[in-house]
Chain A
Amino acid sequence: MPTPAPLHLAVALDGAGWHPAAWREPDAQPRRLFTAGYWTELAQQAERGLLDFLTLEDGLGLQSDDHFQADARTDRVRGRLDAVLIAARVAPTTRHIGFVPTAITTHTEPFHLSKAIATLDYVSTGRAGIRVQIGARADTAAHFGRREIPPIAADRRDDPDVRQLIADHFDEAADYVEVLRRLWDSWEDDAEIRDVATGRFVDRDKLHYIDFEGRWFAVKGPSITPRPPQGQPVVAALGHAQVPYRLIARSADVGFVTPRDAAHAAELVGRIRAEQASAGRGDETVHVFGDLVVFLDESKAAAEARRQRLDELAGTEYRSDARIFAGTAVGLADLLQEWQEAGLSGFRLRPAALPHDLTQITERLVPELRRRCLFRARYEAGTLRERLGLGRPANRYATA
């Protein structure tokens, strides 16, 4: 039996944890959610666990239990800091872990985000990425007043016009990523020459207009920020259906999917590979990670009891787009190993409660995976791309 390849692990950080009542746990720190110290500690804990990268959720409106509109709850964590700035604030206090904040493509400028992520790559020495997400909420659109997004009623979500709207948002996201990538290449690596003899700081022949024109925006370029250390920071996207799988396949380096079980995982990987082939990216590495919400404790019974207790505190049973695992590190390792064999190259774990479940990941799960030769014993030197086996891409504009 061949040695299984090591798998990749990311952790998804959001507020006090993914369970809506996590903020009420004794070890939760809900008053510190808007401080640098809180996020620094979580990132450093994740780094102690040798995790590949962390993601940071974000949005351009208040969080809501309803994906399509605001709710008026007062018993949930509400309010959040800009994820790119959290990443920039925390990255210099770490040395290895990657940072993949979330950005909303529907309402922001790709030119601004491209230089922001390029700068994150500089301040982290090559550990930056971005998770692109569409913004389909009508109330968020009203924060900008630039486009009308109709409210989507719960019972209309599968209507053809709603599906078309969502598909349009994803097409825009694909254009947005294309602009990011062109801008990251708009400076060749050696554009800065500091040539005293001719008085030229840059070789303008190594700076390129990107001349992007699309339905939602036109961007001239070049970027105002030189080529990032990784060349192309890592692009990630979360998908639950064919349209987002297509985005992952066309545009991303890492896709997060939400399989129910190993067979479903295999099916999703197959669908993404098929889309990759259609997009002409069949020979490129596109990681497919499984997202899982995790409640981890010393016994399955303890984990299930904690989940139950949190559900009671929250007043509703917590439901997720991702499979919810409640059990031990050993049990989770069994699941991850099974799903890896089904074709996933890694996992993005969503800790139900912070810091508890993150600590369980780094102090229980990771050693168990190492015991099975499924995870690294130390960080190798290098960038986030290198850690993900992605290599440094050639610049699309370089001619020589």
Chain B
Amino acid sequence: MTKQIHLAAHFPGVNNTTVWSDPAAGSHIEFGSFREFAQIAERGKFDFLFLAEGLRLREQNGKIYDLDVVGRPDTFTILAALAAVTEHIGLTGTINSTFNEPYEVARQFASLDHLSGGRSAWNVVTSWDAFTGENFRRAGFLAQDDRYERARTFLATAIELWDSWHGDEILADKETGQFLSTAEPGAFRHKDTFFDIAGHFNVPRSPQGRAVIFQAGDSDEGRDFAAASADAIFSRQSTLAAGQAFYADVKGRLPKFGRTRDELLILPAATFVLGDTDAEAAEIAHEVRRAQVSPATALMFIEQLWNTTLDGFDVDGPLPDFDPVVSENLISKGRASVRQFAKDPVALAADWRARAEAGNLSAREVVIEVTGRQSFIGSAVTVATTINELVQADAADGYILVPHITPGGLAPFVDKVVPLLQERGVFRADYTGITLRDHLGLAPLDAPAIAAAG
């Protein structure tokens, strides 16, 4: 059988992907928006939907960032509610491993898995900044270098908790009065630098056994972490060459962890713009990018990279001719893109200037070019063909689609592109399995070996 494509849908969060000013844009907090989004995605037979997580409102220059969508639901709670209005689609949420404890997160995912009939998935991320920590009891923060160790150990602990119930503990024998087969269900003990916990996990083994594990790692350490422990990677490489390189690299790391190629799916995030023709789509895409990067937004991005306020700066003129302010103290707080900018801002600024020169671009136009380009632009036939070619060429195992209008922006993809993929026999015509593991083609987990008594 031809390699099958996996598709998922991300309800974008609090960044400039969403064009909230479009009359068709819906609410980012009312349940109806999320319900509609989930039901469109399920109609499209998508493997899963994905929601990120909010821990602190973003700020820039000491003020709450107000140009993008602000405000979102709690991830666990909204996913549980979406389980009520869907039947098949997987429910993936980002939950951080810094401002949480493994016992609580493990029971929340186990509960979500029970309540959804085995559809839960966890995108494991690690925050480490003091800014975010100001909302939490453990207000301290991790050293950046510790973040993968923290994520690794948190995930390992959660897996131990999930595996502490083997699946045969509940007899519920009314006749004999034995509810449990053992007096010590869920017994566990875990001790390392980060966690020293012991006792009994209180959620019986769920339908999938564990949440499906997602990870979004790009660095060398991140790729190893994913190759060792994840079931799927959210990646950023949605083009052919970059995608193939990433795919080959990460899948190539699996054998050293004793895993096979089909045990880890590579799923880049991808935006899209559809049109009746490729030309029409290109025009719409250009307008969408201009809407996503307004003059005010462009200024914010430039200030972020240059790490300084730029009073009176004209975004229709050239980029600043001085270098960014390199400092530990970043004016932008609470957003992921900042970390990219802060890696080597001087080099990145030089890259931006080179683009401006090459394309005779204004500052705003450079920002549009570097931040906004959509992954798939074209007619439904073009987009379907492109996606299929990329997957068949092992640039990805599928894509996580991110519409710029929510919730309805997913519908044209579901209505026009999905049928073409189904016709070609590369995407499911209907769900055949029950759990998210089934949809992703992952084998069911073996029940942990039943421990010897005592």
- The verdict on A31 contacting B170 (CB below 8 Å), with A79-B204, A201-B68 known, is yes
Beta-carbon contact of A35 and B114 below 8 Å:
yes
Beta-carbon contact of B202 and A79 below 8 Å:
yes
**Chain-B contact segment, one of A191-199, A254-262, A284-292, A330-338:** A191-199
How close is B141's CB to chain A, nearest CB, in angstroms?
13
Residues of A within 8 A of B78 (CB): 88, 119, 123
- The verdict on A81 contacting B114 (CB below 8 Å), with A118-B74, A123-B77, A123-B78 known, is yes
Residues of A within 8 A of B199 (CB): 61, 70, 139-140, 142-143
Contact with B along A198-225 (1 / 0, CB 8 A): 0111111001000000001111111011
Residues facing A in B112-129 (CB within 8 A) are 112, 114-117
Beta-carbon contact of B137 and A24 below 8 Å:
no
Asked if B104 CB lies within 8 Å of chain A CBs, one says yes
Task: Please give me the residue from chain A that is nearest to B65 by CB atom.
Answer: A204
Asked if B343 CB lies within 8 Å of chain A CBs, one says no
**Chain-A contact segment, one of B175-183, B231-239, B258-266, B362-370:** B175-183
Beta-carbon contact of B203 and A119 below 8 Å:
no
CA distance A80 to B185 in the complex (A): 12
Contact with A along B73-88 (1 / 0, CB 8 A): 1101110110111000
Beta-carbon contact of B55 and A224 below 8 Å:
yes
If over half of B's interface residues share one DSSP class (helix, strand or loop), that class is named, otherwise mixed; here it is loop
Asked if A145 CB lies within 8 Å of chain B CBs, one says yes
Asked if B225 CB lies within 8 Å of chain A CBs, one says no
CA distance A194 to B29 in the complex (A): 13
CA distance A140 to B198 in the complex (A): 9
Beta-carbon contact of B197 and A93 below 8 Å:
no
Residues facing B in A116-140 (CB within 8 A) are 116, 118-120, 122-123, 125, 139-140
Beta-carbon contact of B56 and A224 below 8 Å:
yes
Residues of B within 8 A of A379 (CB): none
Which of A63, A92, A144 is in CB contact (< 8 Å) with B81? A92
How close is B307's CB to chain A, nearest CB, in angstroms?
21
Beta-carbon contact of A220 and B134 below 8 Å:
yes
Which of A31, A59, A93, A194 is in CB contact (< 8 Å) with B202? A59
**Chain-B contact segment, one of A105-113, A275-283, A392-400:** A105-113
Residues of B within 8 A of A125 (CB): 31
Residues of A within 8 A of B81 (CB): 88-89, 91-92, 119, 123
Interface centre among B104, B174, B202, B204 (most CB of A within 10 A): B202
Asked if B4 CB lies within 8 Å of chain A CBs, one says no
Asked if B30 CB lies within 8 Å of chain A CBs, one says yes
Asked if B148 CB lies within 8 Å of chain A CBs, one says no
Asked if A6 CB lies within 8 Å of chain B CBs, one says no
Residues of A within 8 A of B74 (CB): 112, 115-116, 118-119, 225
Asked if A60 CB lies within 8 Å of chain B CBs, one says yes
Residues of B within 8 A of A268 (CB): none
Asked if B70 CB lies within 8 Å of chain A CBs, one says yes
Asked if B360 CB lies within 8 Å of chain A CBs, one says no
CA distance A231 to B331 in the complex (A): 33
Beta-carbon contact of A36 and B185 below 8 Å:
no
Residues of A within 8 A of B180 (CB): 73-75, 78
Asked if A226 CB lies within 8 Å of chain B CBs, one says yes
28 A-B contact pairs sorted by A residue (CB < 8 Å): A24-B174, A28-B174, A30-B179, A34-B203, A36-B116, A36-B117, A61-B202, A73-B180, A74-B180, A74-B182, A75-B179, A76-B179, A79-B186, A79-B204, A82-B108, A85-B108, A85-B115, A92-B35, A115-B74, A115-B77, A119-B77, A142-B197, A142-B198, A143-B103, A192-B29, A201-B67, A207-B70, A226-B29
In addition to A78-B180, A217-B136, 14 A-B residue pairs with Cβ atoms within 8 Å of each other are: A60-B103, A73-B183, A74-B179, A81-B107, A93-B84, A107-B101, A112-B99, A122-B30, A123-B73, A123-B78, A139-B199, A201-B67, A202-B71, A207-B64
